[in-house]
Amino acid sequence: MILHLDMDAFFASVEQLDDPSLRGRPVVVGGSGGRGVVSTASYEARRFGVHSGMPIATARKLCPGGVFLPGRRARYAELSRSVMAVLRDFSPLVEQASIDEAYLDATGTERLFGTVDRLVARIKANVRETTGGLTCSVGVAPVKFLAKICSDINKPDGVFILRPEAVDAFLCALPVRRLPGVGRRMAEQLASMGIVRVEQLRRVSAESLRARFGKWGVELHERAFGRDARQVTPEHEARSESSETTFERDTRDRAFMERILMAHAERVGASLRAQGIRGRTVTLKIKFADFHQITRSHTLSMPVASTQTLFEVGCRLLRAEPLPQPVRLLGLGLSGFDDAPVQAVLPGVFSSPGVGEVRDPAEEERRRRLDDALDAVRRRFGRAAVQRGRLFAGKERA
């Protein structure tokens, strides 16, 4: 018995929760200006055709009376942790799939919490109480991919329970487009084969699907019959942490971009330190005015989470790029959170080709202590209580 919990319009719902004046109004999270893409739209905004992934400029045309907000990642992460804690009260087998969704294996919990209907009702009530009023939708099914499909059926604030004996009938009537992994292009290819519903997909052999779609074709065949061997994995390790900004206007101002990198380094570093993890690979993301995108990465010899180190490496990667066009978007991320052996480094500085010097472990420790002190001040007095001077530099040059 697998549950999939999905928070309803999470980012927008948090904004409406914290600011009652926004309740009942179309709220779009993802950018306060005319650039960027929609992260989340409230259900009021969705009535105008606004959806996640849509350019902000398009959303503004569809919903000119909407409230457009840049988002508050720290606040969303805080409430996400509260939701995950609620789920762990009901089962130790909880797998967080994203900031606003998770799987829970409730097999064998009937003696503790009663029927699945009662269990879901208790989970939803506890989530609402713990978060101060946020709602979620829950799907229940024998396997993970079906639970995810079910959680979307009665949104918002809905429940759909798919009993084992009803799986075949449910799947046969399901459009193939609803299967996870079947995007627009694959749906078009399947339609060209006369396959629109899962019932039709079942008539095609695994060998034929492999010949057409490769390895994914075999997995698609398994899904058609309701098979999914994936278990709910309690510990889902972070693969990367990143932050990015789409500028109000394209720019070539490198000093301005370095200030943006400092802001990104602050956000990424603070998030990693809160999770107690460090990484070794710093990645710079640049999107140009023509939407061409590049990434540049450098792997350090020691795992880090300090703001200053992330900033310095990001700046060196940026300075190495000629920037043939104005820049539209700039991002900074850190990955490499595995337990790979750390290369020993002698005191002093060492060089990394194409990037420049990186300071020694003693310097990194000093930076860690500084970050810890700043983090403590912000936790007590708010994020704006203390800021690095570089963020107060002059305005962007034209």
**Per residue in 79-111, pLDDT tens?**
999 999 999 999 989 999 888 999 999 988 888
Residue 186's pLDDT is what?
A: 87
Same domain, 271 and 374: yes
Residue 113's pLDDT is what?
A: 87
Identify whether 133 is part of a domain. Answer: no
Same domain, 387 and 268: yes
Identify whether 117 is part of a domain. Answer: no
Identify whether 154 is part of a domain. Answer: no
Of 40, 73, 106, which residue sits at a domain end?
Answer: 73
Of 56, 73, 90, which residue sits at a domain end?
Answer: 73
Written as one string, the DSSP assignment of 91-150 is: -S-EEEEETTEEEEE-TT-HHHH-SHHHHHHHHHHHHHHHHTS--EEEEEESSHHHHHHH
Residue 338's pLDDT is what?
A: 54
Residue 387's pLDDT is what?
A: 62
Same domain, 363 and 310: yes
Identify whether 348 is part of a domain. Answer: yes
Same domain, 18 and 48: yes
Lowest mean pLDDT among 79-83, 271-275, 292-296: 271-275
pLDDT at residue 128 tops 90: yes
Identify whether 341 is part of a domain. Answer: yes
Q: Residue 365 maps to which CATH number?
A: 3.30.1490.100
Same domain, 248 and 386: yes
Identify whether 46 is part of a domain. Answer: yes
Tokens describing residue 299: 């792997």
Same domain, 212 and 257: no
Strand partners for 67: 27
Residue 224's pLDDT is what?
A: 93
CA–CA distances in Å: residue 260 to residues 180, 245, 273, 370: 36, 8, 20, 20
Q: Which helix (H) or strand (E) holds 376?
A: helix 361-381
Same domain, 317 and 255: yes
Each residue of 32-77: pLDDT tens digit? 556 678 999 999 999 999 998 888 889 999 999 999 998 888 899 8
Identify whether 41 is part of a domain. Answer: yes
Same domain, 244 and 214: no
Q: Is the peptide bond before 156 cis (omega within 30 degrees of 0)?
A: yes
- Among 137, 13, 125, smallest CA distance to 76 is for 13
Same domain, 377 and 266: yes
pLDDT at residue 227 tops 60: yes
pTM above 0.85, yes or no: no
Helices (H) and strands (E) in the chain, counts: 15, 14
Identify whether 255 is part of a domain. Answer: yes
Same domain, 376 and 245: yes
Same domain, 46 and 181: no
Q: Cite the active site residues.
A: 101
Q: Residue 176 maps to which CATH number?
A: 1.10.150.20
Same domain, 281 and 339: yes
| Rounded CA separation 5/100 (Å) | 8
Encoded amino acid at 86, one letter? V
Residue 180's pLDDT is what?
A: 84
Q: Residue 44 maps to which CATH number?
A: 3.40.1170.60
Lowest mean pLDDT among 175-184, 268-277, 311-320: 268-277
Contact 241, 279 (CB under 8 A): yes
Lowest mean pLDDT among 93-97, 210-214, 360-364: 360-364
Q: Which helix (H) or strand (E) holds 245?
A: strand 240-251
The count of structural domains within the chain is 3
Return the percentage of the chain with pLDDT > 90, whole number: 57
Containing structural domain, residue 29: 10-73
